[in-house]
Structure 1
């Protein structure tokens, strides 16, 4: 092997190694910053890893908002099959109210969810896609399909 060819091979090897290290570090950083969306029934079923930071999505239950001192507020998020108490300290979005969809980011502390961020829905006809899909899947698991409840006719 000639010296020029050897230098070229070393340079290409170093570049490939650097790209591999950069890719590994990027994937690791993205995994650390990911937050998953769960519904209250999924949380109650134990599908959330302990001490994980995640998002809870659903509807704010009617007559569940409790305002505390200063900026502290507690409310219940429901998906129709399960309810989860959420506590938040901060300024809520203007569109936040009962019977509206909400996504809160935070973590579990005991049997309650402590939120660091609360996002409210857009308008009365909008449910965030992630929340709608998660609520639909959770609801299907807990209910009998409509066709199975109906008697068959021949």
Structure 2
């Protein structure tokens, strides 16, 4: 076999291995991806069955504690979604602040069952996904 043909097979083999590694990485990432939804997005269509991120503001006066279980309402000022979480909340979690909850929506009750709660880290911060979703509803000015 000529050197030219050997190089061609080497390049084709390297491209095939690179393509296979990329396909494997992409398929693994697709299984772990969590999509972001605002309450208004969930109200529009069928409830997703996969794990998602629900983002918005914790509605004033909505936090209820029952032992380690916390119930509260997430709003984007257009729609609301009740959330149930069992565990320890972040120190900065409170009413009127931005929050992202990771978990699954129970289609039977419409309650979001959160596995993880992420809260803002300072007074002026709002998660980008939450800010974008609230701007889409027209409830927050572009400067916020």
Shorter-chain-normalised TM-score: which range? Answer: 0.7 to 0.9
Shift of 1:47: 6.1
Which residue number corresponds to residue 82 of structure 1?
79
Cα distance, 1:123 vs structure 2: 2.2
1:68 pairs with 60, 66, 69, which one?
66
> Pairwise mapping of residues 1-154 of structure 1 onto structure 2 (< 5 A)?
2-46=1-45, 48=47, 50-69=48-67, 71-110=68-107, 111-137=110-136, 139-140=137-138
1:108-147 deviations in whole A, cap 9, x for unaligned?
112110111001112222211221011111x13x9xxxxx
* Stretches (4+) displaced over 4 A: none
Superposition TM-score, scaled by structure 2 size: 0.87
Partners in 1 of 2:24 and 2:80 — Cα distance? 38
Tell me, which stretches of 5 or more residues in structure 1 are unaligned?
A: 143-154
**Number of residue-to-residue matches in the alignment:** 137
Unaligned runs of 5+ in 2: 140-144
Output the TM-score relative to the length of structure 1. 0.82
CA offset digits 1:24-68 (Å, max 9, x no partner): 1111122222112111111111265x3121111111111111111
Larger radius of gyration: 1
